[in-house]
């Protein structure tokens, strides 16, 4: 007899794993499909301090390992596969992967989002070791250190101001000669004595042995390269990159409703415009993208999927 799952969860970051935990605990036949390793963005974080109840010295990988164990403990099945196409109309949803085809009564999309990267040498190797894409997550680790913020839009300038709560100096590195942020936000930044600016500049390399120790900055007008080293007493500094996010929703374009940036639109119960299809975590429209909000989304989505199945089937 063909196996039809109660719920198929696409993605195994905090939202997907939380959904798997709640779905499994509700005795639903649950599958979690992930194309790579579990965890999403949080697995690149060395320390996790702002997740409620995090144990001492918790890391992104250790937190995800516990989430995986919990979800599997309640019976959620995890599969590694790359989804090629989806058919979400009808009572039974069809998900076609490279390895096999999956059928389910409901689907939870938890594919997340990825921050845009600078794309320079050293960035990938030093992510979580000085390079960050989340001021809320990592700002406190740079108490009284110097930090650089890459970007010039609303998010970059707002996060730069947030980082002044911790860092002794914040330098905004921007490719142009003027910020793109709203004028009201710019005015606050210009008045902040802790914030400095590197105009017409871009970081072309990040250097360090196991931790960020210097950056090479290129002046886009003159082509001049300048190496900026961390203070000798500090030994390191922070590089926070805010040049946008990319929701991992390409597969669902034209299928579920999205905003102009590609984030999936849901209501407060994580419902999309398609009956029986939910979205959770960073891939949906929301004001705060953190592990705690992704986990909450997953719990709500799974609970709503359970109610949907009870009413529908």
- Burial string for 157-182 (b: 16+ CB within 10 Å, else e) reads bbbbbbbbebbebbbbbbbeeebebe
Rounded-to-integer distance, Cα 182 and Cα 157, Å: 9
Cβ atoms of 140 and 162 within 8 Å: the answer is: no
Q: What are the φ/ψ torsions at residue 219 (nearest 5 degrees)?
A: -80, 120
Cβ atoms of 118 and 203 within 8 Å: the answer is: yes
Nearest to 86 by CA among 152, 23, 30, 9: 9
Task: Tell me which residues are annotated as active site.
Answer: 134, 137-138
**How many angstroms separate the Cα of 56 from the Cα of each of 141, 212, 230?**
15, 24, 28
Could you tell me which residues come within 8 angstroms of residue 76 by beta carbon, excluding any fewer than 6 positions away? 9, 20, 21, 23, 24, 30, 31, 32
Question: What is the DSSP pairing of strand 146-150 with strand 238-241?
Answer: parallel
């Amino acid at each position: 007899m063909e196996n039809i799952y109660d719920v198929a969860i696409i993605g195994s970051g905090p939202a997907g794993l939380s959904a798997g935990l709640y779905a499994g605990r509700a005795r639903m036949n649950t599958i979690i499909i992930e194309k790579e390793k579990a965890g999403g963005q949080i697995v690149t974080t060395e320390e996790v301090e702002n997740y409620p109840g995090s144990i001492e010295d918790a890391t992104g990988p250790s937190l995800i390992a516990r989430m995986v164990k919990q979800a599997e403990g309640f019976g959620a099945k995890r599969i590694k596969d790359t989804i090629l196409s989806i058919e979400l109309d009808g009572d039974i949803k069809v998900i076609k992967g490279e390895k096999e085809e999956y059928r389910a009564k409901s689907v939870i999309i938890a594919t997340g989002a990825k921050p845009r990267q600078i794309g320079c040498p050293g960035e990938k190797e030093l992510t979580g070791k000085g390079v960050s894409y989340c001021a809320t997550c990592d700002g406190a680790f740079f108490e009284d250190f110097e930090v650089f913020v890459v970007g010039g839009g609303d998010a970059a300038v707002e996060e730069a101001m947030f980082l002044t709560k911790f860092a002794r100096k914040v330098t905004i590195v921007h490719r142009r000669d003027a910020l793109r942020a709203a004028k009201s936000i710019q005015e606050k930044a210009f008045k902040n004595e802790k914030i400095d600016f590197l105009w017409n500049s871009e970081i072309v390399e990040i250097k360090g042995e196991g931790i960020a120790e210097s950056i090479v900055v290129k002046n886009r007008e003159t082509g001049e390269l300048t190496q900026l080293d961390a203070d000798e007493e500090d030994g390191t500094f922070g590089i926070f990159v805010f040049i946008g996010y990319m929701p991992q929703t390409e597969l669902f374009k034209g299928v579920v409703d999205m905003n102009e940036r590609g984030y999936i639109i849901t209501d407060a119960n994580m419902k999309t415009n398609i009956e029986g299809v939910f979205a959770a975590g960073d891939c949906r429209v929301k004001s705060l993208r953190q592990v705690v909000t992704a986990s909450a989304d997953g719990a709500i989505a799974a609970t709503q999927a359970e109610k949907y199945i009870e009413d529908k089937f």
